Amino acid sequence: SSELTQDPAVSVALGQTVRITCQGDSLRSYYASWYQQKPGQAPVLVIYGKNNRPSGIPDRFSGSSSGNTASLTITGAQAEDEADYYCNSRDSSGNPWVFGGGTKLTVL
Amino acid sequence: EVQLVQSGAEVKKPGESLKISCKGSGYSFTSYWIGWVRQMPGKGLEWMGIIYPGDSDTRYSPSFQGQVTISADKSISTAYLQWSSLKASDTAMYYCARTHSSPTYNWFDPWGQGTLVTVSS
């Protein structure tokens, strides 16, 4: 089975840049998608594929990938970006059921 | 507007059965996979399985195979997640999400608002 590993918690000063990473063997073959979840709310897609943003997601969110690591970068973090972030990719059979454990982002 | 609207919160006793729903609107319901995701209290997201309403092709995550049943009624654009005998450990928030796929990635958008299932004696 495939696993995705994320740092449990990351902090960033208001207006600074932060990178949230996701590591796993499946990321050598597949891109990740990224989800933002605020307390008491459903997850929201923020990045998918090589670096695609859904409509309505600010351009301060971007994605990248290298080797077995996918990254979500927030350039100029805002207070409203404080949330849990989850990565997702496929397992070795191509099924979409691999989530990272989530990263809690704190904006200081 | 593309939307997934889930059924309301449920409180059940261990051993009871349950079926929760996810109704799609604003798009061709039969043309996209729908997935179900569990989030236990204070924990992360876990994929349970997916269904293609067009032909009811269903796939389960190994962790949930045999534990739940996923189905769909395309005539009313609704997907379902059901349990035959609930356990206290099934207490969680359950989300549905429309699933998109390309050869090298998938993504889930939009998500339903979630259905809270509480199992307690």
Separation of first and last alpha carbons in chain B: 40
Nearest CA in chain A to B115: A42
Interface-testing mutation among A30, A33, A97, with chain B (most B C-beta atoms within 10 A):
A97
Q: Give the pLDDT confidence of B22-50 residue by residue, as tens digits.
A: 999 999 999 999 999 999 999 999 999 99
Kindly compute the dihedral angle of the four CA atoms of residues B112, B45, A88, A39, in this order, to the nearest 10 degrees: 70
Say yes or no for a CB contact (<8 Å) between B106 and A44.
Answer: no
Strands (E), chain B: 3-6, 10-12, 18-25, 33-39, 45-52, 57-60, 69-73, 78-83, 92-102, 105-111, 115-119
Quick: pLDDT tens for A8-23. 999 999 999 999 999 9
Two structure tokens written together for B62 = 């190994």
Structural tokens at position B78: 């609704």
- Please, which residues 57-96 of chain A have a Cβ atom closer than 8 Å to chain B? 84, 86, 88-90, 95-96
Give the residue-averaged pLDDT of A44-52. Answer: 96
* A65 within 8 A of A43, measured Cβ to Cβ: no
Nearest to A98 by CA among B116, B92, B14, B46: B46
A31 in contact with B, Cβ within 8 Å:
yes
Q: How many residues does chain A have?
A: 108
Mean pLDDT confidence for A66-95: 93
